[in-house]
């Protein structure tokens, strides 16, 4: 079923949302509907220009089990290998990588090299990391990799909502487009590599600031 | 970490929002829709829906979930009637970000472990209503309207070990009194070794209350209801008060 807004579509973007049965689908759908995007929860007729969104919430093993059982595992991989845009949010971003210490032995989508590990324990930093936090744009990052963040002043002034216990450690640190502060050092808050974008935080739950960031990201991902 | 200000909305008879005193509903203040609009417009950091009177989440209607999805673009948690990981999954899938359990945890800690394994600890919290009896703290059972034999500290440790991602401590004696929060919890909080986020609820009556509570490094969030309905204070004015007192709070651009 195609969800289409009653008002004119913004361009011709078709968004395919992975229908994880255990994630905050309603929040993503709300963003897409309110922002005027056309989207589907089905993966029939996946075109190279379609934007695939992997929403968050859940455990790494559960996420991968669902993708494999529903035959979406290879569909997403092929889509990404063809250069199709993929956007992962929270757990959805972690699934883009090879593995996670949360579920040892479970292979991720492996679109990017690296794995997720538990946020280091520290007496002044609560884990799970729940709440609003600010982003820092790495100074050594290539400008194209941070195109969604560095040129957007809202990300340096606004906070975004995090709710997670694990954090991605990409092998290629250049794909890190923003970080959040931790007593042991800055940790990955978002990634961008070619047509793949991931947010560890939840822009769809970060109020107007999050909606603006997500909208500019999706618009930029159009092929 | 930024400290959070969280309005709670107590539901009665479906989608009526009401206030409580000592965990007894006593005054209707509007509808769920009105409350959600009011709090989000006033720039709160999160919301919690408390629905203790519901027997099962199957009693929640599509209309209820549609209201949540249509009105809320910030984090929102739900508590009430959750008895299994399937219940929790359904709540999250319909638009909530986190769930809190109380009765299910009191009855069987394994339910908490099951939800935590399924959804991840970051999506499950435990709400522990408590009473102070002769300087000893006990968990309070909403269904029986009386304290259990479980000490608050013991239950707190159990909640952490069974996989809770957050814990809300809710003083029954302070609830709805607008007389200030429970300032005697330090002895309990000092014995919590895990850096798990702790939310404090019950009795907040002024911006100074929030400032004092959120200055405590062990408290991550303050949860309040009556204050936001019966006084001029809003999450935004309270956040500004905390910011002016050097407490790390959320920044917004728009």
**In this complex, which of B89, B195, B251 lies closest to A127 when CB atoms are compared?**
B195
B98–A contact, CB cutoff 8 A: yes
Is A58 strand, coil or helix?
A: coil
Tens-digit pLDDT profile for residues A74-91: 999 999 999 999 999 999
- Provide the shortest C-alpha distance from residue B254 to chain A (in Å): 6
What is the share, in percent, of chain B residues with pLDDT greater than 90? 75
Q: What's the pLDDT at A26?
A: 80
B175 in Cβ contact with B23 (< 8 Å)? yes
Minimum CA–CA partner of B119 in chain A: A58
Any idea which residue has 């009401």 for tokens? B18
Residue A90 annotated as catalytic: yes
CB contact under 8 A, A30 and B73: yes
Q: Are strands A166-170 and A159-164 parallel, antiparallel or unpaired?
A: unpaired
Rounded-to-10 torsion of CA B241, B245, B247, B252: 50
- Report the distance separating Cα B34 and Cα B195, nearest Å: 35
For residue B179, list its beta bridge partners.
none
Test mutation, B6, B64, B73, chain A, max A CBs within 10 A: B73
The answer, for A43 touching chain B at a CB cutoff of 8 Å, is: no
Number of A to B CB contacts under 8 A, please give it. 148
- The 10s digit of each residue's pLDDT in B152-177 is 999 999 999 999 999 999 999 999 99
Closest CA to A183 of A101, A141, A127: A127
Asked if B73 and A204 come within 8 Å (Cβ–Cβ), the reply is yes
- Are the C-beta atoms of B118 and B89 separated by less than 8 Å? yes
Of all helices (H) and strands (E), which one includes residue A102?
none
Closest chain A residue by Cα to residue B95: A26
Q: CB-based contact (8 Å) between B69 and chain A?
A: yes
Buried b (16+ CB within 10 A) or exposed e, A66-99: bbeeeebbebbeebbeeebbbbbbbbbbbbbbeb
Q: Do B69 and A62 touch (CB under 8 A)?
A: no
Catalytic residue among A23, A40, A79, A90: A90
Nearest to A134 by CA among B125, B139, B178, B253: B253
Predicted complex ipTM: 0.84
> At how many degrees (to 10) do helices B32-41 and B62-71 cross?
20
Cβ within 8 Å of B, A 161-180: 161, 163-165
The encoded tokens of residue A137 equal 């744009």
B73, B96, B122 ranked by CB distance to A130: nearest: B122
A9 secondary structure, DSSP code: P
- B45 vs A132: CB contact, 8 Å cut-off? yes
Q: Tokens in use for A74?
A: 């290879």
Which chain B residue has the Cα nearest residue A58? B119
DSSP B207-218: HHHHHHHHHSTT
**Cα B129 from Cα B172, distance rounded (Å):** 6
Distance CA B162, CA A99 (A): 24
Which pLDDT tens digit goes with each residue over A151-175?
A: 455 556 789 999 999 999 999 988 9
**What mean pLDDT is reported for chain B?**
93
Please check whether residue B254 is in contact with residue A154, taking contact to mean a CB–CB distance below 8 angstroms: yes
Tell me which chain A residue has its CA closest to the CA of residue B43.
Answer: A207
Among candidates B3, B75, B89 on the partner chain, residue whose Cβ is nearest the Cβ of A22: B89
pLDDT tens digits along A19-51 = 887 777 788 888 999 999 999 887 777 888 899
pLDDT at A143 over 50: no
Q: What is the dihedral of CA B123, B206, B218, B250, to 10 degrees?
A: 60
Nearest to B2 by CA among B208, B219, B224, B223: B219
User: Beta A176-180 vs A196-199: how paired, if at all?
Assistant: unpaired
* Residues within 8 A of B (CB atoms), A 96-135 only: 102, 121-134
Do A165 and B96 make contact, defined as CB atoms within 8 angstroms? no
pLDDT in tens, B77-119: 999 999 999 999 899 888 898 999 999 999 999 999 999 988 8
- CA triplet A162, B164, B159: central angle to 5 degrees? 155
Q: How far is CA A84 from CA A18, A52, A53, A114, A170, in A?
A: 15, 8, 11, 20, 20
């Amino acid at each position: 079923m195609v969800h289409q807004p009653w008002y004119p579509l913004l361009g011709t973007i078709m968004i395919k949302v992975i229908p994880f049965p255990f994630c905050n689908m309603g929040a993503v759908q709300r963003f897409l509907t309110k922002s005027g995007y056309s989207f589907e929860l089905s993966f029939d007729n996946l075109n190279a220009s379609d934007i695939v969104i992997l929403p968050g919430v859940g455990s790494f093993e559960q996420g991968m089990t669902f993708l494999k059982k529903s035959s979406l595992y290879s569909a997403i991989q092929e889509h990404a290998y063809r250069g199709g845009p993929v956007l992962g949010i929270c757990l959805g971003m972690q699934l883009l990588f090879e593995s996670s210490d949360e579920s040892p032995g479970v292979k991720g989508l492996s679109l990017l090299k690296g794995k997720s590990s538990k946020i280091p324990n520290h007496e002044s930093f609560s884990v799970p990391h729940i709440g609003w936090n600010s982003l820092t744009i790495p100074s050594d990052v290539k400008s194209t990799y941070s195109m969604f963040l560095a040129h957007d002043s809202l990300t340096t002034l606004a906070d975004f909502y995090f709710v997670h216990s694990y954090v991605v450690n990409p092998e290629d640190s250049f794909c890190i487009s923003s970080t959040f502060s931790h007593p042991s050092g800055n940790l990955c808050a978002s990634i961008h590599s070619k047509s793949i974008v991931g947010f560890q935080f939840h822009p769809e739950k970060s109020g107007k600031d999050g909606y603006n960031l997500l909208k500019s990201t999706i618009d930029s991902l159009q092929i | 970490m930024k400290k959070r200000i969280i309005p709670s909305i107590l539901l009665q008879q479906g989608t009526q929002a009401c206030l409580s005193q000592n965990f007894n509903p006593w005054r209707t203040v509007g509808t769920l829709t009105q409350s959600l609009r009011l709090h989000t417009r006033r720039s709160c950091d999160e919301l919690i829906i408390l629905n203790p009177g519901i027997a099962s989440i199957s009693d929640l209607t599509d209309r209820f979930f549609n209201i949540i999805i249509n009105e809320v673009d910030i984090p929102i948690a739900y508590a009430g009637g959750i008895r299994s990981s399937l219940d929790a999954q359904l709540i999250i899938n319909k638009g909530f970000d986190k769930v809190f359990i109380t009765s299910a945890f009191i009855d069987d800690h394994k339910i908490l472990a099951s939800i935590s394994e399924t959804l991840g600890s970051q999506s499950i919290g435990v709400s522990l209503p408590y009473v102070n009896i002769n300087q000893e703290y006990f968990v309070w059972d909403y269904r029986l309207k009386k304290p259990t034999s479980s000490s608050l500290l013991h239950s707190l440790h159990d909640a952490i070990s069974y996989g809770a991602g957050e814990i809300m401590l809710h003083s029954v004696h302070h609830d709805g009194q607008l007389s200030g929060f429970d300032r005697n919890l330090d002895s309990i909080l000092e014995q919590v070794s895990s850096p798990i986020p702790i939310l404090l609820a019950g009795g907040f009556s002024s911006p100074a209350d929030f400032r004092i509570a959120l200055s405590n490094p062990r408290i991550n969030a303050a949860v309040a209801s009556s204050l936001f309905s019966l006084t001029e204070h809003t999450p935004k004015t309270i956040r500004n008060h905390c910011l002016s007192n050097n407490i790390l709070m959320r920044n917004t651009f728009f």
